[in-house]
């Protein structure tokens, strides 16, 4: 009798076995039911709303009114923030091409100044160079005079704003009175929350001096920022699926890991990490190759002891052992890496630490070689 093994059966059983060994449930049958039910439900979700988390204390010009009330009204300190329904956005159905891009001409000096300002905005940090250029292209200039209302609380969101010059005050209506909660001067951005979450403006922002803003319309903002977030997640999920040590993670854990990665690019000969430095995170190679170098105690004899390429990773040893870097990593040609900072590493890669510790033997071998 001939039997055909269903596609994916091996991977499914392997992932289940790893999860069962890691969790060691009291009742394996109940665990199996819960595990496969969850796996089935995850496969049913084909499109999901895209969310980007913004640290309001750091950047947002539209603060949460409920949060302000909690800080200013002790009688309301147990109030709950009302829920916000996010607008569904499916990047896979967004088939816009270059012809749909909005481009407002700018001088080189304007582009340079705007690029510097955009580089400090949290929601743009995941964008690559081309996407940042799309952001700059899509922004148009808006001049302001004192007392001009840029956005008004409870209005629909239309634009996202980056400050080029001028001063601006932020007001929130609390118990019928406009309360000033924040100010901007010649720096900052605001207006993103209403665009991302399809919610009314949560504050009023007025100009207090003559100034200039750069604005980006709602559609351009969502297509560039949210679609970039979607593409980034897809790219990193595919990268992480091919990393052997991450087989110990469940699919939703890999998704969280993908969302925590940021892309960094290095040119030929540039050092990504240096031996002896403190560890700030670990790296997954997206594209290109890197060389592994070990130097002796006097640092006058450098030996290349190996090379890593796409799909491989490095930098985890110093994090695991809480020690300085044991080797230097240098770019061979142009290299793109996905960077995972220390805090996210400790939070997300707990299930993989035992496997990573076994791989420390590779580095010990490198170290031994450097002394011969």
For 81-119, give the DSSP string: PPP-PPPP--GGG----GGG-------HHHHHHHHHHHT
**pTM of the predicted protein model:** 0.53
64: which 2 tokens?
A: 């949460």
Look at residue 188 and give its three-state secondary structure: coil
Q: Which residue has the higher pLDDT, 143 or 119?
A: 143
Instruction: Looking at the structure, tell me whether residues 204 and 287 fall in a common domain.
Output: no
Instruction: Looking at the structure, tell me whether residues 122 and 206 fall in a common domain.
Output: yes
Residue ranges of the alpha helices (H) in 185-226?
A: 192-197, 218-221
Domain count, the chain: 3
Domain of 34, CATH number, reads 1.20.890
Instruction: Looking at the structure, tell me whether residues 362 and 267 fall in a common domain.
Output: yes
103: which 2 tokens?
A: 């481009």
Q: How confident is the model at residue 308 (pLDDT cuts 50, 70, 90)?
A: very high
* Contact call for residues 304 and 292 (beta carbons, < 8 A): yes
Instruction: Looking at the structure, tell me whether residues 159 and 284 fall in a common domain.
Output: no
Instruction: Looking at the structure, tell me whether residues 204 and 282 fall in a common domain.
Output: no
Percent of the chain exceeding pLDDT 70 equals 73
Look at residue 206 and give its three-state secondary structure: strand
Q: How confident is the model at residue 44 (pLDDT cuts 50, 70, 90)?
A: very low
Q: How confident is the model at residue 42 (pLDDT cuts 50, 70, 90)?
A: low
Instruction: Looking at the structure, tell me whether residues 134 and 169 fall in a common domain.
Output: yes
Instruction: Looking at the structure, tell me whether residues 82 and 154 fall in a common domain.
Output: yes
pLDDT one-digit tens code per residue, 261-293: 888 899 999 999 999 999 888 899 989 999 999
* Contact call for residues 338 and 284 (beta carbons, < 8 A): yes
Report the C-alpha gap between 149 and 69 in whole angstroms.
23
pLDDT one-digit tens code per residue, 351-362: 676 666 665 554
Q: What is the mean pLDDT of the chain?
A: 77
| Residue 239, pLDDT score | 82
Residue 125 known to bind ligand: no
Instruction: Looking at the structure, tell me whether residues 70 and 198 fall in a common domain.
Output: yes
| Residue 357, pLDDT score | 65
| Residue 359, pLDDT score | 58
Instruction: Looking at the structure, tell me whether residues 266 and 342 fall in a common domain.
Output: yes
Instruction: Looking at the structure, tell me whether residues 219 and 71 fall in a common domain.
Output: yes
Residue 192 known to bind ligand: yes
Judge whether residue 36 has pLDDT over 90.
Answer: no
* Contact call for residues 206 and 136 (beta carbons, < 8 A): no
Look at residue 134 and give its three-state secondary structure: helix
Residue 42 known to bind ligand: no
Residue 201 known to bind ligand: yes
Report the C-alpha gap between 126 and 264 in whole angstroms.
10
* Contact call for residues 64 and 203 (beta carbons, < 8 A): no
pLDDT one-digit tens code per residue, 221-265: 888 887 777 778 788 888 888 777 777 777 777 888 887 888 889
The residue segments making up the domain with residue 217 are 65-225
Q: Which helix (H) or strand (E) holds 316?
A: helix 316-321
| Residue 51, pLDDT score | 38
pLDDT one-digit tens code per residue, 56-105: 344 445 555 444 444 444 433 333 333 333 445 555 555 555 556 789 99
- Whether 308 is in a domain gets the answer yes
Beta-carbon contacts of 154 under 8 Å, excluding residues fewer than 6 positions away, are: 200, 201
pLDDT one-digit tens code per residue, 156-186: 989 999 999 999 999 999 888 999 999 999 9
Report the C-alpha gap between 356 and 362 in whole angstroms.
11
Q: What's the full length of the chain, in residues? A: 372
Torsion (CA) 301, 307, 308, 313 in degrees, nearest 10: -30
Instruction: Looking at the structure, tell me whether residues 292 and 169 fall in a common domain.
Output: no
């Amino acid at each position: 009798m001939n039997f055909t093994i269903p596609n994916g059966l091996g991977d499914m059983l392997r992932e289940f076995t790893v999860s069962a060994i890691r969790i060691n449930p009291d009742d394996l049958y109940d665990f199996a039911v819960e595990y496969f039910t969850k796996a089935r439900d995850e496969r049913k979700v084909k499109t999901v709303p895209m969310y980007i988390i913004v640290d309001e204390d750091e950047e947002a010009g539209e603060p949460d009114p409920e949060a302000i009330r909690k800080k200013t009204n002790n009688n309301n300190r147990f109030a709950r923030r009302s829920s916000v329904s996010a607008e569904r956005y499916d990047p896979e159905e967004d088939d816009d091409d270059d012809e749909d891009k909005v481009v407002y001409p700018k001088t080189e000096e304007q582009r340079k100044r705007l690029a510097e300002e955009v580089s400090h905005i949290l929601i743009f940090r995941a964008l690559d160079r081309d996407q940042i250029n799309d952001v700059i292209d899509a922004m148009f200039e808006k001049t302001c005079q004192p007392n001009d209302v840029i956005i008004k609380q409870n209005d629909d969101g239309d634009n996202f704003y980056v400050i080029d010059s001028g001063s601006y005050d932020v007001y929130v209506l609390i118990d019928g009175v406009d309360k000033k909660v924040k100010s901007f001067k010649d720096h900052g951005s605001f207006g993103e929350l209403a665009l991302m979450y399809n919610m009314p403006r949560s504050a009023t922002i007025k100009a207090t001096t003559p100034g200039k803003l750069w604005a980006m319309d709602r559609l351009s903002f969502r297509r560039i920022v949210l679609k970039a977030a979607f593409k980034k997640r897809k790219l990193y999920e595919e990268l992480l699926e091919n990393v052997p040590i991450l087989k110990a993670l469940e699919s939703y854990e890999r998704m969280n890991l993908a969302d925590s990665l940021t892309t960094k690019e290095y040119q030929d000969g540039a050092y990504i990490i240096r031996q002896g430095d403190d560890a700030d995170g670990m790296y997954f190679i997206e594209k290109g190759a890197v060389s592994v170098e070990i130097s002796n105690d006097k640092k006058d004899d450098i030996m290349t002891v190996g090379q890593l390429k796409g799909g491989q990773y490095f930098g985890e040893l110093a994090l695991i052992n809480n020690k300085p870097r044991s080797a230097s990593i240098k770019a061979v040609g142009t290299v793109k890496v996905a960077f995972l900072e220390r805090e996210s590493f400790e939070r997300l890669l707990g299930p993989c630490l035992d496997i990573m510790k076994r791989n420390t033997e590779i580095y010990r071998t490198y170290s031994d070689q450097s002394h011969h």
